[in-house]
Structure 1
Amino acid sequence: MLDDLPMSRRQVESVATSDGAVNIWDGSIRSGKTIASLLRWLMFVATAPRGGELVMIGRTRESIARNLFGPLQDPALFGPVAAHVHYTSGAPTATILGRRVHVIGASDAKAERVIRGMTVAGAYVDEITVVPEEFFTQLLGRMSVDGSRLFGSTNPDSPSHWLKLKFLDKLSALPHWRYWHFTMEDNPALSRQYIDQKRTEFTGLWYRRFISGEWVAAEGAIYSMWRPARHVVPWASLPPMRRLLAAGVDYGTTNATAAVLLGLSEGGRLYLVDEWRHDPRTGAPRLTDGQLSGRLRSWLDEPHLPAQPEMRPEWVAVDPSAASMRLQLYRDGITAAAADNDVGRGISLVATLLAERRLLVADRCRGWISEVSGYSWDPDATEKGDDRPLKVADHSLDAGRYAVATTEALWRPHLLDPVGLAA
């Protein structure tokens, strides 16, 4: 298998020496860490001990399908072995080399209950830093089969993150752990042009974490890559849209209620195409849920695209804490989904899309544009190892994030690689 897959010396070294009870790959984006760790996982599954379950874990089953099974089932990466990896996105189990593998989403602390009582012979954990500490601790305790192994990869996070503080900083006291740090130069599939492009696109926190691969605290502006001249487009010049995916809605009573529409263009870019806001702090009257619902529904029925006035959003994703508003919308004929409100992941997703210019913003989204430059990290939360924004002037930003994060499974397969997009 190694002969068929072009790999760097660093990747080969990590595969050859990942014989610990716990084996962790971290580093920058597109650095080859995931491919190396997945190759090692395949090798382990082929000879994994019996008497326990095999599990693959990530934030959600959908993210596992995208991040792990997508590469595993690609013959260009894993040759004929890819035909022996069988998984349908969203399913609770997969089959790899004839072995049943449980596929588990671990998006919150309650997820650790899923593996209580389970005996685990082998585990692969995707994006370890987004898995709750309680789940990871429970998983380590479940791996009691002789010869059991855990493999996992992650991008760096805060230096106060539990994985860094409790494990990576104490590797000298953990002789059964193995750890490798990767940079983009460790991926032989990347051209120098691509690496240089990424280095110019990302700034601040995202540069240090995603490009340099540093465990660094969040501080200052969140979307430091934001440039109006680079990211704002005239509404009248919007390109044709393949789909108008969703309206993300952030709900407020004394604060603003904002809705932002997300579209996927025929050319493979995401656009925030239109926005509606009702803000009592600017002199607008306070409205009941019924009144807000009525105004929002009227706006949703308006034309939102210059060349496709008939197109309407396929989904409405509302702040999950706004149960009363979702109920009101349902009574008024709109089935609204509870938005994905994993704040850290959503911000990271939007930041990456902005940096790569795979997300642009129409000038009709005035609230979003006015909020983005001042959006900053909360220094008190940073001291506790938590990446959390200051809750100030963020209603349109939250609405846009809901639309982007909640519909990722819909737009991700159609988004062009950033190399294919004009600068």
Structure 2
Amino acid sequence: MLRDVPLPLSGRQVASIVESQDAPIALWSGAVSSGKTIASLLAFLIRITLAPDIGLIVIVGRTLQTIERNLIDPLQSRMLFGPLARHVHHTTGSTTATILGRTVHLVGASDARAEGRIRGSTIALAYVDEATLVPEAFWMMLLSRLRVGDQSRLLATTNPDGPFHWLRKEFILRGAEVGLTNWHFTLDDNPSLDPKMVQRLKAQYTGLWYRRFILGEWCLASGAVYDMFDEDRNVVDILPYMRRWTAVGIDYGTVNPFSAVLIGQGEDNHLYAVSEYRYDSKIAYRQQTDAQYSADVRQWLATVRRPGEQGQARGVTPRWIFVDPSAASFMNQLWTEKVPNVAPAINDVLDGIRSVGVALGSGLLRIHRSCTGLLGELPGYAWDEKAAERGEDKPLKTDDHSADALRYALHSTAHEWRGLIDYKEVDGVAA
């Protein structure tokens, strides 16, 4: 079967595939794009051919869509798996696939309630994608369902998380006791990666994410969230002409500060935090209504100076206005007043922090010195170390309003600006 795969395999990949066949629980962990998924899927295909007729075969991921994207699509790629890809059949949206003639059940496990989907089942073979994202209760239920004696197998992949994550504490560190074998992968373990791709990956992750996803460390989320922020590099006094007014991000507050940050794409293809609106009811001694905030935001956008244009040109219409999705009444106010391009922001906190970190660490994002609220928050925006000790990555919920507004604007448009990063100019920023 290994001879059918067109991609070159490293010695570590081959060793993990062979050695995993005798491991009750086999885990491939380490850096992104390090070859662990290809190795684990090949091991899974071999185990399918050996799996007993008794018991189910399951693939587990955070959602059905992530299973399709991360696993089924690669398995159906002839470039990756050669002639083996012909034997992987799946209809998009279906909760089953046929792989090497066997029915494989696809199970999304986004929260603890997902354990009910496998309760009562007898499972012979399971594959778990991104195991740290699976609820511990589901993982434990899955182990209890592997009931075909010595023939049952669990294969899993993961990127590292915090050192107190349950997967590391209860399984990796106790591997000999629980029957788990772990193979740690780095970028050097993937012989098919182009050096330019390696450079690009190293530039995409900064700070905490660089240590976890590039170095493969199980490290604590501690200290500053944006430890890559550099005032000399990321703060500017002069703005260029803006070829595009990308977005406004809005973090809504009544008792807490209300903050809006305007992002533009300059003629030099850098992103700029051009201007901000901020209202703090504690300082003003007066709370505002949705209508008052709407009027203020519209007035602010109408008076923002457009840099690089002749005279004192003012007023911008951003392509998007992304609002804190919990602020439903404020969004309704904007829609009622026919403010264009209003949408709920993507509020995936950790993914959003990674997006901001990439923009800052690569030097793509620059912040005008007039954005005093944002600049006052970024250096002190810190991880909650008590949450980290519980195995959770959470920033402290203090002085984060402009930082959240920036995150809403950047993460909700990340698909548009990631291609602007000039990786040739990135010189060690990720490290």
TM-score, normalised to structure 2, is 0.77
Number of equivalent positions = 414
User: SS state of the match for residue 382, structure 2?
Assistant: coil
Q: Superposition RMSD on alpha carbons, in Å?
A: 4.1
Alignment of 1:24-423 (within 5 A): 24-46=27-49, 48-85=51-88, 92-145=95-148, 147-175=151-179, 177-190=180-193, 204-231=207-234, 236-239=240-243, 244=246, 247-260=248-261, 275-283=276-284, 285-296=286-297, 312-313=318-319, 316-320=322-326, 322-326=327-331, 328=333, 339-352=345-358, 354-356=360-362, 360-361=365-366, 363=368, 367-405=373-411, 411=415, 415-416=418-419, 422-423=425-426
What is the aligned counterpart of 1:13 among 12, 15, 22? Answer: 15
Conservation of the 8 A alpha-carbon contact between 1:41 and 1:124: yes
Conservation of the 8 A alpha-carbon contact between 2:252 and 2:324: yes
Q: What is the percentage of aligned positions where both structures have the same residue?
A: 45
In 2, Cα distance between equivalents of 1:153 and 1:69? 15
Instruction: Tell me which residue corresponds to 2:311.
Output: none
User: SS state of the match for residue 58, structure 2?
Assistant: strand
Deviations 1:224-278 (A, max 9, x none): 122245445765344558xx5x654322111112344678999998776765433
Counterpart amino acid of residue 2 in structure 1: L
Conservation of the 8 A alpha-carbon contact between 1:223 and 1:373: yes
TM-score, normalised to structure 1, is 0.78
Instruction: Tell me which residue corresponds to 2:429.
Output: none
Q: Quick check: 148-157 or 44-53, which moved more?
A: 44-53
Conservation of the 8 A alpha-carbon contact between 1:293 and 1:328: yes
Structure with the greater alpha carbon radius of gyration: 2
In 1, Cα distance between equivalents of 2:301 and 2:92? 31
Question: Alpha-carbon deviation of 1:416?
Answer: 3.7
Q: Quick check: 162-171 or 33-42, which moved more?
A: 33-42
Closer/same/farther in 2, CA of residues 277 and 61 from structure 1, 3 Å limit: farther
Conservation of the 8 A alpha-carbon contact between 2:331 and 2:342: yes
Conservation of the 8 A alpha-carbon contact between 1:235 and 1:362: no
Conservation of the 8 A alpha-carbon contact between 1:156 and 1:209: yes
Question: Alpha-carbon deviation of 1:319?
Answer: 3.9
Deviations 1:126-169 (A, max 9, x none): 22212221222222223334534322211212111111111111
Q: Which runs of 5+ in 1 are unaligned?
A: none
Conservation of the 8 A alpha-carbon contact between 2:250 and 2:321: no
